[in-house]
Amino acid sequence: MELFIVINSFFLLLALAINSGLALFIYFNNSQEEANRFFSYILAVASFWVFGLLLYINLDSAEWLLFLRRLTPIAGALIGSCLLYFSLIFPKGSHKPSFLWKSLILGPGLFFPFLSALTPWIIKGFVVVDTKYLFLGRPLLGPGYFIYLVYFLACFLLAIGILLRKYFIVKGKSKGQVFYLLLGLGISGTFGIISGALLPLMGYPLNFSMGPTFTLIAAFFASYAIVQFKFLNIEDFLISGVLFLFGTSAVVGTFGLMFLNRLSFLFSFYVILANFLLGVLVLIKNSKDKINISFFGVTLAIVLWTIGVYIFWNSASLNIATWGGKLAFLGAAAIPAFLLLFGLAFPKELKPISFLRWLLIFLPPALFSVLIFSNQVLKEVVSLGGGISRIYGPAYPLFSIYYLLYLGLFFYYLYVKQRVLGGINRIQIRYVFLGWGGAAAIALTTNLILPLLGIGAFSFIGPHATLIAMGCIAYAILKHRLMSIELVVQRSVVYAVATILIMAIYALAVIISETFLRRIMGYSSLLVAAGAALLIAIVYQPLIHSFQGITDRLFFRGRYDYQKTLREISQQIASVIKLEELTRLIVTSFIDTMKVSEISFLLLDKQGAYFKSVPISLARYKRIEIDRGSPIVSWLSSVKDILVREEVEDEIERQTTFDKETLIRLRSLEEVRDEMERLGISIWVPIVSKDELIGIIALGHKLSGDLFTSEDIRLLGTLANQTAVALDNARLYDEVVNMKDYSEEILQSMVNGVMTVDIRGRIVTYNVMAERITGRRVAEVLGQSCQALWGPKGEITKVVENTLKDRCYVNFESSIASPERGLVPVSFSSTILRDHQGKRIGVLLTIQDLTEIKELEGKVRQADKLTALATMAAGMAHEIKNPLSSMKVLSQLMPIKFADAEFRDKLQEIMPREINRIDRIVESLLGFARATAPNFQETDINEILKENLHYFEHQAGEAEVEIVTAYADLPKIELDHGQISQVFSNLILNAIQAMPDGGQLKVETGPGKVIDGTLQNVKIKVSDTGHGISEEKLKKLFDPFFTTKYGGTGLGLTISHSIVDGHKGYFDVESKVGQGTTFTVSLPVTQGLI
């Protein structure tokens, strides 16, 4: 019974540690997902159940028996309800039940724990049968126990049924997830129900505590589903998950052993846990590979060996110690067989393992299993001199020969393969040699050689030494990129020496404190011990660095310093911005640092079709060109990790499953391998920027023949990242230079003068055309202030200053003084320059030379004036001829009819009128031909309109015309008061005369165009509701002598147009026949700079 309790306690402790660790990992991996939370709840409750039973079978007092026995219904109800709900929401994408259904499912699961913990309704009592083994007693079941049991079974069976149905519906990875979940739950649940519920009801209480142990099966298949099918969307489980699981399991196991008061088992527990997790990890990675299977077999054998050794040395009963010894021999018997299988399969089989070899491998452990339990290897354990001693049977020497022979064969096969194989396989074999060489030396000495000499007191050390071997082997199996074996040895020696020295310092401090302070002076040694601990914490890391430096100088002079190399090359790369220099630096760095046989630096061409080697002339530099769609480029683009030829070949050989996805991947790997062989390149390092492949560093093999280790790969990866940044900088530099040249070319080719000025008024940019317009050379202008060049009142200075005050210009006409050309008519356009944050950084000013335009405008105006005068002259012939004809007729009749009084009256009426008409025509003609230059003054435009309207108020009243005004609040503008008044008088008079039957005259003013917050012009509208003007007549409206009213000269609008044009303004006319006409006059606010 003692043996049962020990073994069962161990497996319960293991289940507690693994279930709790897995629960925590799944929960914290993605606590947002409800499925993850509920599966972690199931594992957590299972851990609670396991912990209760672990305490239950180790109780030595009856007072807690009933409480611990009631924990099982609590755990069962919670597991059943959570499992049922989990089956409904798993896998991802399943329809989630409503809140009502969720409450109905989970409610009973919370109700039964309440009843079990606080009432006797489920378990009402406990009858102790054996006072020594209290857990063998019989619980008194309450009336609700069978209801609880039916509820649990219903939940379990419903959950299995739901998952089974989903298995036939889902596809892809979800199908694999559901399958392994069903397998784990089905096996563990079935055995758990039989051992934990049915058998105790049938009168077998011994099996009750075994139920929780089967949760390890569910945990195993859940872990397998995580690794193979991303169960619960968990990734990276093989590294972070296992480490987390080991840490939490170790902590939970430690506390569990503390509760059980079995701290002597603590270190053995760590050994068992580490071996077990390593074995499971490797098996899950590839459960069909002989390497992984044999490794798992070795770990299980070590677990049995460790448990047996612990039981042997820590049991008070000779009978149990004998069973512990036999269990240790059973585990030890399997180790050489599984190791030999591992040696034949790892890292690859040189030839297939024949049936005879399979038989020779596993026949001896099977035979020794029989011999062990028939007392032929270990006969008995006896008490001797206050301790225990083993008496070996007749088969023990045979067992020893078997052990040594198979271990020798294991090392022999590794030696042969180390000579035959190369590349990464050779490094992996070295790791196995390192691990098992050290472990075997320790274990054979303590557990085989010394016992043969009669010294068995050190046999407990053997199992612990296996951690060295299993750690090395697991690393060699799981990692593709291994550290150099020399580096591992160096670091091991450094840490070992440092640790021994530290322990010696601490021990010395404690001894001194005990002998000197306490015994002689009577002081407490606690202060000295604390000071020593603090000193150790301070000097430990510097000590490590010192020893590492010493070992580097003594044993590893040829090996480069990874950090130093990285730092130096990174600094050099960061200082280079030209692409050709960067390429040369990278190539020479790799050649000098890693001593590679050849190297190539490939970049994507501008068309994005090929990766081509940058053309440089260096020894060992290889020119390569590969298509963007090539297998290597495609693989690097998708994986974005370094491609190593040996790794590709190794992964191809490791493929054992051949489903559709695996076949596609295998085909891709084979294409990559073939292209690598064709090009003769061993390492392909991707240069990735913004998740895009922009370049490749291709390396040949090392001249020394060594492989690229994990340290090399890390260095390559880090330098590739640095190179990506440097390439981005180099390309940005090229783009900036090209853009600068392009911009400079555009700037110098522009027909307008362009200059930029900074916030302080200093000229930054100045093109050739600006030189020609201003007459000032670039050399004398750049860096100078505008005030220094053109004075504070210069036009350019005022434009820049006003623009900096947010008063920009668009085609503003002015003139500047040029030392070479005199006064040059120009047009300014300016805008504020701002940075990406919107902060003002300067002014962009364009200057257009208007010399030719003004000359052409003068010629056009002269031609227009001559044309107008010609038109006027032609009109005058008609306009003057009519009154002259009347006057001529009257003069001819005057001698005849002068005595006629009526005739004299007509003569007095007609003659003055016709003469006045001729006078008006001549005056208008003279005014148009001799238009004087306007005299600009700041004037309120609203006041001019008011004056004119006041003058026509009487006339408008007689014509029954209503005057409506709408004046805006406008600034004063620069204009000639008299000329503009003439324009408005003409427009108002025309409007009144256009409404003979009355109407409405509306005069409005308002702001015009605004640029950068500055008002550029104002608008004046004069509208009438008269008869309107047709479109044909609108086209001739400003022609001389064109009129639409009786008695008009047809020169009013012509003169008005000329005046507005002289003010740099313009007319707009809108008219609809029968609705009226609107004249809009636009006048600039200023005739000079604002």
Give the CATH number of the domain where residue 730 resides. 3.30.450.40
- Identify the domain boundary among 684, 708, 735: 735
Chain centre distance of CA 155: 43
Asked if residue 232 is part of any domain, the answer here is no
**CA separation, residue 523 to residues 512, 514, 515, 516, 526 (Å):** 12, 9, 10, 9, 9
Chain-wide mean pLDDT for the chain? 79
d(CA 478, CA 469): 14
Q: Are residues 796 and 867 in the same domain?
A: no
Asked if residue 444 is part of any domain, the answer here is no
Helix axes 2-29, 290-314, angle to 10 degrees: 130
| Per-residue confidence band for 81, with pLDDT thresholds at 50, 70 and 90 | very high
What is the predicted pLDDT for the residue at 1042? 60
Whether 1048 has a pLDDT exceeding 60, the answer reads no
What is the predicted pLDDT for the residue at 1005? 94
What is the predicted pLDDT for the residue at 535? 62
For residue range 378-410, list pLDDT tens digits in order.
888 887 666 677 788 899 889 889 988 998 999
- Identify the domain boundary among 877, 901, 929: 929
Q: Are 3 and 311 contacting, i.e. CB atoms less than 8 angstroms apart?
A: yes
Q: Are residues 975 and 1023 in the same domain?
A: yes
For residues 250-260, average pLDDT:
74
What is the predicted pLDDT for the residue at 476? 60
Q: Are residues 774 and 829 in the same domain?
A: yes
Residue 242 tokens, joined? 């296992």
Q: Are residues 544 and 594 in the same domain?
A: no
Q: Are residues 712 and 759 in the same domain?
A: no
**CA separation, residue 811 to residues 522, 1011, 1064, 1089 (Å):** 100, 11, 12, 12
- Give residue 923's domain range: 855-929
Q: Are residues 804 and 824 in the same domain?
A: yes
Strand partners, 643: 684
| Per-residue confidence band for 274, with pLDDT thresholds at 50, 70 and 90 | confident
Whether 1041 has a pLDDT exceeding 90, the answer reads no
Tell me which residue has tokens 């130093």. 564
Residue partners of 859: CB distance under 8 A and separation at least 6: none
Name residue 963's amino acid. I
| Per-residue confidence band for 160, with pLDDT thresholds at 50, 70 and 90 | very high
* 235 or 1010, higher pLDDT: 1010
What is the predicted pLDDT for the residue at 878? 60
Percent of the chain predicted with pLDDT > 70? 81
Give DSSP secondary structure letters for 271-315. HHHHHHHHHHHHHHH-TT-HHHHHHHHHHHHHHHHHHHHHHHHH-
Which CATH number characterizes residue 812's domain? 3.30.450.20
3-state secondary structure of 317: coil
Tell me which residue has tokens 């994005």. 608
For residues 398-426, average pLDDT:
85
**CA separation, residue 901 to residues 69, 883, 908 (Å):** 152, 22, 11
Q: Are residues 540 and 567 in the same domain?
A: no
d(CA 164, CA 12): 29
Q: Are residues 956 and 1055 in the same domain?
A: yes
Q: Which of 2-16, 197-211, 604-618 has the highest mean pLDDT?
A: 604-618
Residue 1008 tokens, joined? 């015009």
Whether 1032 has a pLDDT exceeding 70, the answer reads yes
Asked if residue 496 is part of any domain, the answer here is yes
For residue range 862-905, list pLDDT tens digits in order.
665 566 556 556 555 666 766 777 777 778 778 787 777 777 77
Asked if residue 1062 is part of any domain, the answer here is yes
Characterise 77 by phi-psi region: left (phi > 0), alpha (psi -120 to 50), beta (else): alpha
Start-end of H helices in 966-1080: 977-993, 1031-1035, 1052-1062
Q: In what order do the strands lie in the sheet with 1076-1084?
A: 961-966, 999-1007, 1017-1023, 1076-1084, 1066-1072
* 499 or 947, higher pLDDT: 947
Residue 1083 tokens, joined? 């006048």
Asked if residue 111 is part of any domain, the answer here is no
Residue partners of 1002: CB distance under 8 A and separation at least 6: 963, 964, 965, 966, 1021, 1022, 1023, 1024
What is the predicted pLDDT for the residue at 814? 81
What is the predicted pLDDT for the residue at 541? 59
For residue range 168-196, list pLDDT tens digits in order.
888 877 888 889 889 988 898 888 888 87
What is the predicted pLDDT for the residue at 557? 44
d(CA 217, CA 227): 16
Q: Are 673 and 649 contacting, i.e. CB atoms less than 8 angstroms apart?
A: yes
Q: Which of 136-150, 462-476, 1072-1086 has the highest mean pLDDT?
A: 1072-1086
* 361 or 710, higher pLDDT: 361
Q: Are 278 and 299 contacting, i.e. CB atoms less than 8 angstroms apart?
A: yes
3-state secondary structure of 349: coil
What is the predicted pLDDT for the residue at 481? 44
For residue range 896-932, list pLDDT tens digits in order.
877 777 777 777 777 887 787 777 667 666 655 555 6
Is the torsion defined by CA of 933, 935, 939, 945 positive or negative?
negative
Name residue 15's amino acid. A
Tell me which residue has tokens 């227009």. 864
d(CA 70, CA 122): 8
- Identify the domain boundary among 735, 768, 788: 735
Q: What is the rounded (10 degree) CA torsion for 398, 400, 402, 407?
A: -170
For residues 628-648, average pLDDT:
87
Asked if residue 82 is part of any domain, the answer here is no
Domain count, the chain: 5
* 356 or 509, higher pLDDT: 356
| Per-residue confidence band for 1089, with pLDDT thresholds at 50, 70 and 90 | low
Asked if residue 36 is part of any domain, the answer here is no
Q: Are residues 844 and 893 in the same domain?
A: no
Q: What is the per-residue burial (b if ≥16 Cβ within 10 Å, else e) of 922-949?
A: eebbeebeeeeebebeebebbebbeebb
- Of 325-329, 809-813, 1016-1020, the one with minimum mean pLDDT is 809-813
Name residue 843's amino acid. V
Q: Which helix (H) or strand (E) holds 492?
A: helix 485-512
3-state secondary structure of 615: coil
What is the predicted pLDDT for the residue at 484? 42
For residue range 823-868, list pLDDT tens digits in order.
888 888 888 888 888 888 899 999 988 888 777 766 766 665 566 5
* 1054 or 1079, higher pLDDT: 1079
Specify the DSSP class assigned to residue 931.
Answer: P
What is the predicted pLDDT for the residue at 454? 64
* 715 or 487, higher pLDDT: 715
Q: Are 195 and 214 contacting, i.e. CB atoms less than 8 angstroms apart?
A: yes
d(CA 676, CA 683): 9
Q: Are residues 862 and 817 in the same domain?
A: no
* 285 or 584, higher pLDDT: 584
Asked if residue 311 is part of any domain, the answer here is no
Which CATH number characterizes residue 1042's domain? 3.30.565.10
Q: Are 1073 and 1028 contacting, i.e. CB atoms less than 8 angstroms apart?
A: yes
Select from 951, 964, 1087 the least CA-distant residue to 1021. 964
Whether 659 has a pLDDT exceeding 60, the answer reads yes
d(CA 111, CA 118): 11
For residue range 199-245, list pLDDT tens digits in order.
777 777 777 777 778 888 888 888 778 777 777 776 656 556 666 77
For residues 615-637, average pLDDT:
87
Secondary structure in 3-state letters for 715-756: HHHHHHHHHHHHHHHHHHHHHHHHHHHHHHHHHHHCCCEEEE
Q: Which helix (H) or strand (E) holds 1011?
A: strand 1010-1011
* 884 or 140, higher pLDDT: 140
For residues 803-815, average pLDDT:
79
Name residue 39's amino acid. F
Q: Are residues 546 and 643 in the same domain?
A: no
Q: Are residues 760 and 889 in the same domain?
A: no
Chain centre distance of CA 397: 64
What is the predicted pLDDT for the residue at 489? 46
Characterise 93 by phi-psi region: left (phi > 0), alpha (psi -120 to 50), beta (else): left
